[in-house]
Amino acid sequence: MFSVPGVCEPLDSPQCQGRNEFVGCEVDKFDQCDAINDPAIRTIDLRFSPTPIPPTETNYYCMTFNLPSDQDYHIVANEGIIDNANVLHHQLLYACEGG
Give dist(CA 43, CA 70) in Å, integer.
15
Using alpha carbons, select from 71, 66, 61 the residue that is nearest to residue 95.
Answer: 66
Number of structural domains, the chain?
Answer: 1
| Predicted pLDDT at 2 | 45
The pLDDT tens digits of the residues spanning 9-59 come to 777 788 877 776 666 655 555 666 777 778 888 888 888 888 888 888 788
Q: Is-contact 66 44, C-beta < 8 A? A: no
The pLDDT tens digits of the residues spanning 51-87 come to 888 888 788 888 888 888 888 887 877 777 877 777 7
* Residue type for position 66: N
pLDDT value at 1 more than 70:
no
| Predicted pLDDT at 57 | 78
Q: Write out the residue range of the structural domain in which residue 5 sits.
A: 1-99
